């Protein structure tokens, strides 16, 4: 009769506490079951591989989720995203390097005010005006030539300061004021007359209707001798805005002006140019003031 342990023997597992050795403690002559040991070792190695693969997959998912959250957080700023926090934009939503560059409509400042608008009519030409404002100082320098300023005059009776055919031209077109000033250089003198009208159209018509006999009266006094009284002198006529302006240049010794007297022509041209600049500056000053209001 044999006395067995009762029931099947348990397989030894070194990773399992209190597991029984694969051999009997009483039978020293029995050898270990090497096939069972190899099978147990293979099973343990397989479990470790599965655990490693499973753990790696979980770590990858965790890292992917963290990256997705970071991307959404960086793109979302302080504003809540309309979709799930892990949702990334599709490929079609991501702008490519070759995409169309956005264009914007050009912005432009309002056009500057036109200075001529402020001297084209009496309604807008409100800046103070006098002979000393229009012709300031005691002398005038044009290029290298210096002209000494002489007497000035200002009247609302335009015809009284004009001669020959000019009085009628001024009256017919509604002249409201005539300012005069005289400049001298050596024995040459020139009187400039600036006639004011209510509109640019009136000043333009006055210029067009003036002829070779339409001249302003020469203005003498204050050390300036009479000139262009019975002598031949050179005259010019022009207009800008609501202003028509005239020059009369000649010799203070009473000589007639001829085409060879270039100094007389140059004096008349210089004063005509200076008068134009002064009228234009009036418009520029008023336009600048209006733009800064």
Q: What is the pLDDT along the chain (293 residues), one digit of tens a residue?
A: 444 444 445 555 555 555 554 444 444 445 556 566 666 666 666 666 555 455 555 455 454 544 444 444 444 444 444 444 444 444 444 454 455 555 555 555 556 789 999 999 999 999 999 999 999 999 999 999 999 999 999 999 999 999 999 999 999 999 999 999 999 999 999 999 999 999 999 999 999 999 999 999 999 998 999 999 999 999 999 999 999 999 999 999 999 999 999 999 999 999 999 999 999 999 999 999 998 87
What is the pTM for the complete model shown?
0.63
Q: Residue 187: left if φ>0, alpha if ψ -120 to 50, beta else—which one?
A: alpha
Cα dihedral across residues 40, 46, 48, 54: positive or negative: negative
Strands 234-240 and 139-142: unpaired
Total residues found in the chain within this entry: 293
What whole-number distance in Å separates Cα of residue 140 and Cα of residue 184?
Answer: 10
Question: Comparing C-alpha atoms, which of 42, 32, 28, 27 is closest to residue 12?
Answer: 32
- Give CA separation, 150 vs 103, 117, 190, 191, in Å: 63, 32, 10, 9
Identify whether the C-beta of residue 191 lies closer than 8 Å to the C-beta of residue 182.
Answer: yes
pLDDT for 2 equals 44
pLDDT for 33 equals 60
33 SS3 class: coil
Identify whether the C-beta of residue 191 lies closer than 8 Å to the C-beta of residue 180.
Answer: yes
pLDDT for 108 equals 58
């Amino acid at each position: 009769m044999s006395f067995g342990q009762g029931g099947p023997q348990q397989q030894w597992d070194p990773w399992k506490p209190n597991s029984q050795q694969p051999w009997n403690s009483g039978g020293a002559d029995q050898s270990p079951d090497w096939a069972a040991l190899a099978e147990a070792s293979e099973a343990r190695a397989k479990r470790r591989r599965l655990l490693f693969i499973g753990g790696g997959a979980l770590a990858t998912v965790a890292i992917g989720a963290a990256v997705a959250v970071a991307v959404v957080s960086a793109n979302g700023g302080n504003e809540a995203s309309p979709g799930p926090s892990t949702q990334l934009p599709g490929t079609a939503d991501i702008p490519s390097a070759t995409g169309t560059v956005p264009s914007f409509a050009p912005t432009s400042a309002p056009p500057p005010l036109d200075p001529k608008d402020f001297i084209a009519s009496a309604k807008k030409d409100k800046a103070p005006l006098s002979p000393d404002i229009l012709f300031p100082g005691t002398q005038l320098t044009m290029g290298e030539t210096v002209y000494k300023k002489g007497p000035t005059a200002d009247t609302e009776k335009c015809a009284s300061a004009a001669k020959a055919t000019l009085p009628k031209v001024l009256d017919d077109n509604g002249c409201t004021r005539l300012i005069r000033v005289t400049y001298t250089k050596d024995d040459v003198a020139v009187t400039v007359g600036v006639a004011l009208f209510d509109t640019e159209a009136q000043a333009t018509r006055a210029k067009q209707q003036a002829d070779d006999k339409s001249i302003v009266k020469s203005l003498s006094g204050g050390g300036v001798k009479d000139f262009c009284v019975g002598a031949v002198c050179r005259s010019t006529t022009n207009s800008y805005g609501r202003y028509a302006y005239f020059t009369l240049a000649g010799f203070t010794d009473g000589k007639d002006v001829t085409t060879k007297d270039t100094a007389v022509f140059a004096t008349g041209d210089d004063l005509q140019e200076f008068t134009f600049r002064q009228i234009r500056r009036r418009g520029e000053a008023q336009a600048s003031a209006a733009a800064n209001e």
